[in-house]
Amino acid sequence: METRQEDILPIQNDKPRLVFLFGAGASYGDGIPVQSDLIPQILNDSDLQLSKSDAGKQIRSFLKDNFSTKDRFPTLEEVFGFIDFHLNNELSLSKKWTLKELRDLKSNLTKALHYIISSKTKQSEHFRQFWEKIKLNRKEIGVITTNYDTLIDESFDRIYSEYLIDYCIDLINFRYPDNITPFDWWINPNKPVTQFGNKRPIRTKLLKIHGSLNWKYCNCCGQVGLTPWEHGINLKTDSFDSFFESDITTCPFDENKLSSLIQVPTHLKTNTNFIFNKLYDEAGYTVRSAKTLVIIGYSFPEADVHIRAMIKRNFNPENQIIVVNKSTAKDLIYRYESLSKNVDYHEMTFERFVKSRLFEKIIKNGR
């Protein structure tokens, strides 16, 4: 394909009229566990990373000391909420579980969450079909997802370079550091880019409002490193599978240790990290522009009241919400009907949806 050398601005697509919001149900068909599966997996003796690592041992000890797992397992919201209550109020839980231990515990539990989801992440045929239909119709859309996994990111390469991902955050990759391979440099879709072929690239917002397994955060310089096709973490060595050639655990600018950038499920959310604040603001702006909001595999869990509030504040209730969910529980339908006067509910999985006439109709007619 012929490459044009002149630089152009991509189609900005700043106010997409068609916006998709993905929840955990969209990834479930590809084997990503839902939250209720995660604590049982942490306690599973068959996974040596979880049972033999220092992080896994500490988490298991905490669960044994503070929760009963005989008849039921605690939810992640319960565990993180219990930890956050003590941290936010600067209270030790006991002589054993001091503030320092609780801080380390929360960090290790976040790493275990990262490890379990990353170990289940693989290429997604369903998201590949989603993006290819978007490309076929040259549709300008916005995407918001609550999921940490990289299924939706790694399927995007099927439509590059006609479409460019905009995570709506600043990335280390934009600055082309010397100790990052050129293969992992990243195009900034908000600046002039080279056009490939005859079609202008379309900027597409991909707002991962709870963070992502392929984002690595430096809490010294406040930058995020994107590891485009690497999302793993090793609990035994406490390191990432990464593109960094010199040291896979440190920032290429200040050598500070990098950490996962995911917002854990807890009722006591405090957005002290400016990156999450920026993502929420951008998500609200994107929802505000939507004429059609398609919500897939999302049940508005209690820990995500902030997302319901974001939609309620920004979405025009006169506009249309299309819900795709395998559940038709009355309380779930009620939550959606409180957001818009026009709710079109469809009982189906994401796997069925991407092959359905409904999806084709939305793509062709979505306002």
Single-letter residue type at 252: P
- Choose from 140-144, 233-237, 327-331 the range with maximum mean pLDDT: 140-144
**What does the pLDDT average to over 82-111?**
95
pLDDT recorded at residue 227: 82
Tell me the CA distances in angstroms from 64 to 3, 69, 79, 343, one per residue in order.
60, 8, 12, 44
Top pLDDT among 305 and 283 is at 283
Q: Is 285 exposed, middle or buried (0-12, 13-18, 19+ CB in 10 A)?
A: middle
List, in order, residues 6 or more apart from 50 with CB less than 8 Å away.
Answer: 41, 42, 44, 56, 112, 115, 116, 235
Residue 10 has pLDDT above 80, yes or no: no
Residue found under tokens 């406040």? 222
**Which tops the pLDDT comparison, 272 or 146?**
146
Structure confidence by residue, pLDDT tens digits, 33-44: 988 899 999 998
314-322 mean pLDDT: 95
Kindly indicate the confidence band of residue 116, based on its pLDDT and cuts at 50, 70 and 90.
very high
Q: Report d(CA 353, CA 351) in Å as an integer.
A: 6
Cis before 94 (ω within 30): no
| Angle, helices 357-365/125-136, rounded to nearest 10 degrees | 40
Q: Are 354 and 129 in contact (CB under 8 A)?
A: yes
Indicate whether 363 pLDDT > 90. yes
Residue 326 has pLDDT above 70, yes or no: yes
Please give the average per-residue pLDDT across 295-313, as a whole number.
Answer: 91
Whether residue 201 has pLDDT greater than 70:
yes
Which residue did the predictor score with more confidence, 317 or 71? 317
**pLDDT tier, 1 (very low <50, low <70, confident <90, very high otherwise):** very low
Average pLDDT over residues 234-248: 62
For 272-289, what is each residue's pLDDT tens digit? Answer: 688 999 999 999 999 999
| pLDDT for res 2 | 47
pLDDT confidence of 302, banded at 50, 70, 90? Answer: confident
Share of residues in the chain with pLDDT > 90 (%): 60
- Residue 181 class from Cβ within 10 Å (0-12 exposed, 13-18 middle, 19+ buried)? exposed
What is the mean pLDDT of the segment spanning 250-260?
A: 84
Residue 245 has pLDDT above 70, yes or no: no
Please give the Cα distance from 316 to 336 (Å, whole number). 13
Q: What is the DSSP string of 139-197?
A: --EEEEE---S-HHHHTGGGTTTTEEEE-SS-BGGGG--TTB-GGG----TTS-EEEET
In this prediction, residue 92 carries a pLDDT of 97
pLDDT at site 233: 86
SS3 206: strand
Burial per residue of 97-116, b for 16 or more beta-carbon CB atoms within 10 angstroms, e otherwise: beeebbeebbebbbbbbbbb
State the average pLDDT for the chain. Answer: 88
User: Which range among 203-217, 297-311, 312-326 shows the weakest confidence by mean pLDDT?
Assistant: 297-311
Range with lowest mean pLDDT among 36-50, 173-187, 236-250, 318-332? 236-250
Give CA 226 to chain center in angstroms.
13
Q: Look at residue 117 in the predicted model and tell me its pLDDT.
A: 94
Which of the pair, 251 or 116, is modelled with greater confidence? 116
* Residues 102, 134 contacting (CB under 8 angstroms): no
Is the pLDDT at 230 greater than 80? The verdict is no
Sign of the CA dihedral running 262, 267, 268, 274: positive
Contacts of 263 (CB under 8 A, 6+ apart): 209, 210, 211, 269, 273, 276
Please report the pLDDT score of residue 247 as a whole number. 42
pLDDT at 30 over 50: yes
- In this structure, the number of other CB atoms found within 10 A of the CB of residue 363 comes to 17
**Cα distance from N-terminal residue to C-terminal residue, the chain:** 32
pLDDT at 44: 87
Model pLDDT, residue 332? 87
